[in-house]
Structure 1
Amino acid sequence: MKHSFKAFFLAMVVLAVGCKEKAEEKQAASEFKVPVEYYKLDNGLKVILSQDKTSPTAIVAVYYNIGFRIEPKDRTGFAHLFEHMMFQGSKNLGKMEFIKLVQQNGGVLNGSTRFDFTNYFEIVPSHKLETMLWAEADRMRGLDITQENLTNQQGVVKNEVKVNVLNQPYGGFPWLDMPQFANNNWYNAHNFYGDLEDLDAANLEDVEQFFKTYYAPNNAALAVVGDFEIEEAKAWIEKYFGDIPAAELPPQPDISEPRQEMEKDSVKNDPLANKPAIAIAYHMPERNTPEYYAMGLLDQILVQGDNGLLVQKLEKEKGFTSDVNGGINYLGNMFNYKGPMLWMYDFTYDQETSKEEILAAVDEAMVDLKQNLDQEMIDKAIIKIRSQLYDDIGGFFGLGRADLLCSFALFDDDPERINSIEEEFKKITPEIVSRTIDEYLRKTNRSILTVNPLLAENEKTK
């Protein structure tokens, strides 16, 4: 009997160990880990490779460390204008040939200008990866900068401003308007889209100097994501980018914002709007601090999803609106920027509702937040943000992954951060969140911008 019991006990131990190992293997398999290989070329180009063979596609993404936040004074909109210039031809590719090259090879492409970077990407069948690396290197090496191309793109951008902002109801509200209103530092508070006079004033010398200054390999990050062989990609990158000369980069301007000590409140008259709208913004904590991650969780708790406290209060309980929208960084996400940022939400509402009623409801939601804040609320927010993060990383053939890898390489010199984001949120305690609410969601850190719908007012008087 003793020998039988001992054998049974040993068998149970072996079984338990085996089950534990299988559970650990299952947990490890369920954890999402992005493969990252990071290195720099001799000319300073930051290179991030992330292999993923689930689809026969590859992404080439080039991020330049220049956004509209630090564009030249008296040249508002210039960083965006220059983004357009990058498609106007290079040494070996004529006007619009870059676009044709991608599309004729079954790919898609785009570019954008954001607060702290300008980016370009191509998603192509994986066997066309070398071609795309060659093409991106060709325009990094030198653009075909002509007066004809500049004049043409000035017209394109000015028309974009007119169509997207000046001739649209709620045009520029609040993504373009609020930074100008809530911030004090010119670099954070100017018209990023560009004043028409400033766009007209840009000349060839400006374009050439801008390219020479900012579009250099030591001011850029290159990510390759998808189905490729690591050593083969490294050889191509060295071949096409390796001998592009580095530039002497100018010192970065001071883009810091002073602590806001008084609530701001303003009105924007909109001749095309038929309903009033409101946007409420708060200055964010500094990136990568505990308070920064706490604000990411507060964003989830307050405005993301149907269970957001402000959504519940303003939509479900009060019925003031049906379109609460918000987040950190309206032109991206909470990870792909570097300098000062706003957390903001906005919505339209009926004219029968007063701004005072809305702000009273907002204050009620904030009181509810502080009274009910506990670990369970934080845990639910972590689940939401993890789901959103995984969707972003895996979505659109991995473009979200390329975005984070380039952003973390440019701003932190550490693209491996992509694999530690969730852990940073898990470190946040109710005490940290409470402290963050007290400092960053205070009324004296709040900016309120409302739209006065002149179209509705005019219709009333008819």
Structure 2
Amino acid sequence: MVLAMNSQAAPVYPVGESMAINCSRRCRVSMTSSVCSLFSSNLLDKPTTIMPRITLHERVLSNGLRVIVCPDHGAPVVTVNVIYHVGSYDERANKTGLAHLFEHLMFDNTSTGMEKQYDSYCTKAGGTNNAYTTYDHTTYYINLPAHQLDLGLWLEAERMRMFAITDHALQTQRSVVIEEIKQNVENQPYAKWQFALDRTAYKLPSSYAWNVYGTTEHVASVTLEDAKDFYQRFYQPSNAVLVIAGDVDVENAFAKAEAHFGPITGSTIPTIRNEFDPAHRQFGSHTIEPDEVPVPAVFLATHLPPLNTDEMYDADLAASFLGSGHSSTLYRDLVAGSRIASHAGAFIDRRAHSSLLITYAYATQPDITADQLTEALGASLKEARVTRDVFTKVVNRQKTAIAAEFQRTSGVADSVGYHATFYGDPSEVNGLLDKYGSRTQESIQSVVDAVADITRAARIDIVQLA
């Protein structure tokens, strides 16, 4: 699955799925997700309840696999989450889309004759499973009744144990992924802006200059040897984090993890990552993409710092202030006010080395031009001011969303694995509320002011065919 860009969603918390992709049979392509709309503005204006700390226990197996256990006895369920530190950023420019394709292939990667039965094993045990690919990581997760922990660990260990993908599986999944691209991007109104964004905001040789989906031509050309090389370089215990969250005994969980994953040996092929050069970011670039759409739409992308900086917390809150809900600045000015736009908003596209804050607007009438939409966006952004009341509201909205996400073992496991991978410390999750609470009106306003300088933004226009 590729996490698709949901241009009307507001950021919830740093889960790193800003542009992720999932298997088509389990497909979601969404940059961000939000539960904020579930809460009334009155609730969000009130102080947020302090969230209990997540209990974390971490050990590293002899093969380099990091194992983190998060016990929670609130319900008899468990989530097994494996995050591999590999995404489309680790691809080569002549073989794009391999990370997402390999996510599909992992559901056929077994040496025990259970091909095509992964879902069957899971559902018969009362569980659910999914996976998603982003620019920088790929995550697989299973939610099960707590007494089925062994099953979840076995299923994931089988996929990590060895490369066992057949040529038939490769041919099948190549076709599936190509159809997914056609369905979700090429034949989806306005979706082409996702591909245009990457080449507009970044220039080659940056690995951010292509989309997580890759091109259909590159996907069609992937060989079994390509897939095996990718597996040996990135799908290794030392390049992964295993999180077990839910109703488990800590020592028993570690013992089971050791039993299933401990015997797995890593590859001797080193994991070499593509380097990021800030000079590959593009400012003030402009792409016009004709499409079969009824009205124009404009997307403006402002470059942000790397993930593990305090400025990203400001950016989350700035995006919420600008574009989340009917009380947001862009909705108030462009949709409810001037009515130049039918939809307007903002969200974060998370990338490990250089994220983006994206603002957008869809015109209400065919004769409204992309230039007029851009001018309206710029005017609204320049006038945007973070008042004390608004500051309190967006901070509490963010805290409420985090607390809601952590009510689920899957939410805990996903965030813990993400922070272990990109922040180096899984306990960072326990500081999220404080991190957002420590921001100021001034720090959020500084991000808003940077976004307001649209001359430095990467701009994508989706316009009607001539």
Normalising by structure 2, what TM-score?
Answer: 0.84
Structure 1 SS opposite 2:270? coil
Q: CA RMSD in A?
A: 2.2
Q: Distance in 2 between matches of 1:231 and 1:46?
A: 15
Which residue of 393, 400, 403 maps to 2:411?
Answer: 400
Partner of 1:5: none
Partner of 2:367: 352
Q: Is the 8 A contact 1:184 1:257 kept in 2?
A: no
**Quick one: which amino acid aligns to residue 69 of structure 1?**
Y
Q: Is the 8 A contact 1:290 1:432 kept in 2?
A: no
Partner of 1:232: 252
**Quick one: which amino acid aligns to residue 212 of structure 2?**
F
Gaps of 5+ in 1: 1-26, 458-462
Q: Is the 8 A contact 2:129 2:141 kept in 1?
A: yes
**Quick one: which amino acid aligns to residue 351 of structure 1?**
P
Q: Does 1:145 align with 2:165?
A: yes
Q: Does 1:208 align with 2:219?
A: no
Q: Deviations over 1:205-233 (max 9, x none)?
A: 11111111110010001111111111111
Which structure 2 residues correspond to residues 164-179 of structure 1 after superposition, within 5 A?
164-173=184-193, 175-179=194-198
Structure 1 SS opposite 2:342? coil
Q: Does 1:161 align with 2:181?
A: yes
The structure-2 alpha-carbon separation of the partners of 1:78 and 1:421, relative to structure 1 and needing over 3 Å to count, comes to same
Q: Is the 8 A contact 1:86 1:143 kept in 2?
A: no
Q: Deviations over 1:370-415 (max 9, x none)?
A: xx33444322221111112222222xx3322211111111112211
Gaps of 5+ in 2: 1-46
Stretch of structure 1 that moved more, 57-66 or 243-252: 243-252
Identity of aligned residues (%): 27
Q: Does 1:43 align with 2:47?
A: no
Q: Distance in 1 between matches of 2:354 and 2:279?
A: 10
Normalising by structure 1, what TM-score?
Answer: 0.85
Partner of 1:123: 143
Structure 2 SS opposite 1:169? coil
Q: Is the 8 A contact 2:302 2:357 kept in 1?
A: yes
Q: Deviations over 1:339-390 (max 9, x none)?
A: 2111113342121323333233222322322xx3344432222111111222
Q: Is the 8 A contact 2:131 2:139 kept in 1?
A: yes
Q: Deviations over 1:436-461 (max 9, x none)?
A: 3444542233122111122xx6xxxx
Q: Distance in 2 between matches of 1:277 and 1:239?
A: 53
Give the helix-richer structure, 1 or 2: 1
Partner of 1:19: none
Q: Distance in 2 between matches of 1:69 and 1:207?
A: 16
Shift of residue 307, structure 1, vs aligned partner: 1.4
Provide the aligned length of Structure 1 versus Structure 2: 417
**Quick one: which amino acid aligns to residue 370 of structure 2?**
K
Which structure 2 residues correspond to residues 69-88 of structure 1 after superposition, within 5 A?
69-88=89-108
**Quick one: which amino acid aligns to residue 178 of structure 1?**
L
Partner of 2:19: none
Q: Is the 8 A contact 2:326 2:332 kept in 1?
A: yes
- Over 6 Å off, 4+ runs: none
Partner of 2:289: 268
Which residue of 370, 383, 387 maps to 2:400?
Answer: 387
Partner of 2:25: none
Q: Is the 8 A contact 1:60 1:132 kept in 2?
A: yes
Q: Distance in 2 between matches of 1:259 and 1:443?
A: 19
Partner of 1:339: 353
Shift of residue 430, structure 1, vs aligned partner: 3.2
Q: Does 1:279 align with 2:299?
A: yes
Which residue of 248, 258, 274 maps to 1:253?
Answer: 274
Shift of residue 132, structure 1, vs aligned partner: 1.0
Q: Is the 8 A contact 1:52 1:225 kept in 2?
A: yes
The structure-2 alpha-carbon separation of the partners of 1:359 and 1:429, relative to structure 1 and needing over 3 Å to count, comes to same
Q: Does 1:367 align with 2:382?
A: yes
Structure 2 SS opposite 1:324? strand
Partner of 1:452: 463
The structure-2 alpha-carbon separation of the partners of 1:325 and 1:103, relative to structure 1 and needing over 3 Å to count, comes to farther
Which residue of 323, 329, 351 maps to 1:303?
Answer: 323
